Amino acid sequence: MTQDELKALVGRAALDFVVPGTVVGVGTGSTVNCFIDALASIKHRIAGAVSSSVQSTLRLQSLGIKVFDANDLLSIPVYVDGADEIDHRGFMVKGGGAALTREKIVADLAERFVCIADESKLVETMGRFPVPVEVITMAAAQVARRFASAYGGVATLRAGVTTDNGNAILDVRGLSITDPLAMETEVNQWPGVVTVGVFARHRARVCLLGTAQGVRTIDFDR
């Protein structure tokens, strides 16, 4: 199976986790696009969606799915999103599509994070994929220096990218993330950091992994 076929497979499989009559949390990216397309087939059975990016909002609306404002929701049962890397505890690196801040906001509303990914995303130790960090532009150089001194990481500005929130993205290479919770906690405190793309506090509870043999379900709470 091609990578696109694996993405379509897990996008459809995630429908099993949608709770009828509720608002579904929707992430961002090529795997999520497959989920959105599948969601359209059951749109009359859900109240609508809450979206993590302008890109996903436009796709949802074009398929006739109502998009709610996150401020109007107390909580949602499920958030479905992809990942750039996921480890065996459900910790993730996210933000390859620059949507990490809104992704964390919607994940924070959700009782359960369902990650959908092809098997190339499952890793022993995260950090091979450059860790995205959304920063206020005037803090970019200082945050880059902090990554170098605290973790030996090399941060570069993602050229030509402005987030949906009007900020910049730093991509940090050369990290080995052995303690995702500690890294997320520390980096979040650096002035000018809006969001670090380490999802430890908002880890996945379930991962639907596309493999050549079909969908492998990993339940991290078991």
In whole angstroms, give the CA distance from residue 92 to residue 35. 19
In whole angstroms, give the CA distance from residue 92 to residue 84. 7
Q: For residue 84, state whether it binds ligand 5RP (rule: CB under 6 A).
A: yes
User: Please, what is the minimum distance in Å from the beta carbon of residue 165 to ligand 5RP?
Assistant: 12
Nearer to ligand 5RP, 84 or 144 (CB): 84
The beta-strand segments (E) located in the chain are 23-26, 48-51, 67-68, 76-81, 85-86, 92-93, 110-118, 131-135, 154-157, 168-173, 193-196, 198-199, 206-211, 214-219
103 is catalytic: yes
Q: For residue 99, state whether it binds ligand 5RP (rule: CB under 6 A).
A: yes
User: Active-site residue among 85, 103, 134, 184?
Assistant: 103
Is the CB of residue 176 less than 8 Å from the CB of residue 127? yes
Q: For residue 210, state whether it binds ligand 5RP (rule: CB under 6 A).
A: no
Mapped onto helix, strand or coil, the DSSP state of residue 122 is strand
In whole angstroms, give the CA distance from residue 6 to residue 222. 25
User: Please, what is the minimum distance in Å from the beta carbon of residue 53 to ligand 5RP?
Assistant: 7
Is the CB of residue 51 less than 8 Å from the CB of residue 132? no
Per CB under 6 A, which region of 93-101, 134-142, 155-163, 166-174 contacts ligand 5RP? 93-101
- Of 51, 81, 85, 200, which lies in the binding site for ligand 5RP, with binding defined by CB under 6 A? 81
User: Please, what is the minimum distance in Å from the beta carbon of residue 93 to ligand 5RP?
Assistant: 8
In whole angstroms, give the CA distance from residue 48 to residue 25. 9
Residue length, the chain?
Answer: 222
Sign of CA dihedral 57, 53, 45, 22: negative
Q: For residue 94, state whether it binds ligand 5RP (rule: CB under 6 A).
A: yes
Query: What is the Cα 124 distance to its own chain's centre?
Result: 18
Site for ligand 5RP in 27-46 (CB under 6 A): 27-31
Q: For residue 12, state whether it binds ligand 5RP (rule: CB under 6 A).
A: no
Q: What are the φ/ψ torsions at residue 68 (nearest 5 degrees)?
A: -90, 155
Nearer to ligand 5RP, 12 or 94 (CB): 94
Nearer to ligand 5RP, 97 or 127 (CB): 97
Q: For residue 202, state whether it binds ligand 5RP (rule: CB under 6 A).
A: no
User: Please, what is the minimum distance in Å from the beta carbon of residue 103 to ligand 5RP?
Assistant: 6
User: Please, what is the minimum distance in Å from the beta carbon of residue 149 to ligand 5RP?
Assistant: 27
Instruction: Name the site residues for ligand 5RP (rule: CB under 6 A).
Output: 27-31, 81-84, 94-100, 103
Instruction: Point out the residues that are catalytic.
Output: 103
